Chains A and B, each alone.
Chain A
Amino acid sequence: NAGVTQTPKFQVLKTGQSMTLQCAQDMNHNSMYWYRQDPGMGLRLIYYSASEGTTDKGEVPNGYNVSRLNKREFSLRLESAAPSQTSVYFCAYGRSSGANVLTFGAGSRLTVL
């Protein structure tokens, strides 16, 4: 998954704890995305950022906040983790030129107890 680095790869939290998932791209593209994938299900868009300084809600934004710190970095924060947020989280960037061509990170597996 060259071009997108996600940290951490694994994390276990207790209910109510907070944490931030980090995502960084090395390709200087405008668009970045956060998805979650629950077992046996497809990817659902949490938040996206069309450019530095802008963020927008996706399909399932409740319980999450994001920050587009600069063009390279897009972080996802869980302020008060809940068991329902146990999932695998994927970050992606999109190449411009008409519509996005997506490149994904390797994923971050989060378990909330």
Chain B
Amino acid sequence: KQEVTQIPAALSVPEGENLVLNCSFTDSAIYNLQWFRQDPGKGLTSLLLIQSSQREQTSGRLNASLDKSSGRSTLYIAASQPGDSATYLCPLGARFGAGTRLTVKP
């Protein structure tokens, strides 16, 4: 059974900080890897997709990397803003972990 573990479960930081969210998998047979954000009471928005031939992907202040050998992915958020406050999710295939709930304080 594939398991997804996200660390930390919750994170609260002041605005402007750089931060790292972690995702680890029990199954290292990873193909594509997506990072999503979910705002409270809303649906899921895809942020970044690391395809099987890639090691990382960048979009604006976000950078996601994937290490298949260790079964880990990290999401780096630079210069965090209050608008980044959300839950961040990194499913393995179709299976989700609990996510990391991020709060960025003004």
A residues with a Cβ closer than 8 A to B are: 1, 33, 35, 41-45, 48, 58-59, 90, 92, 94, 97-107
For A101, what are the chain B residues with a Cβ–Cβ distance below 8 Å? 32, 34, 46, 49
**Complex partner residue of B44 from A45, A58, A90, A94, CB under 8 angstroms:** A90
Q: How many residues of B contact A (CB 8 A)?
A: 19
12 cross-chain CB contacts under 8 A: A35-B96, A42-B96, A42-B97, A43-B96, A45-B95, A58-B94, A90-B43, A97-B32, A99-B31, A99-B52, A101-B46, A106-B43
**B43 and A102 form a contact (CB under 8 A):** no
Contact with A along B41-79 (1 / 0, CB 8 A): 011101001001000000000000000000000000000
For A107, what are the chain B residues with a Cβ–Cβ distance below 8 Å? 42-43
For A104, what are the chain B residues with a Cβ–Cβ distance below 8 Å? 43-44
For B31, what are the chain A residues with a Cβ–Cβ distance below 8 Å? 98-99
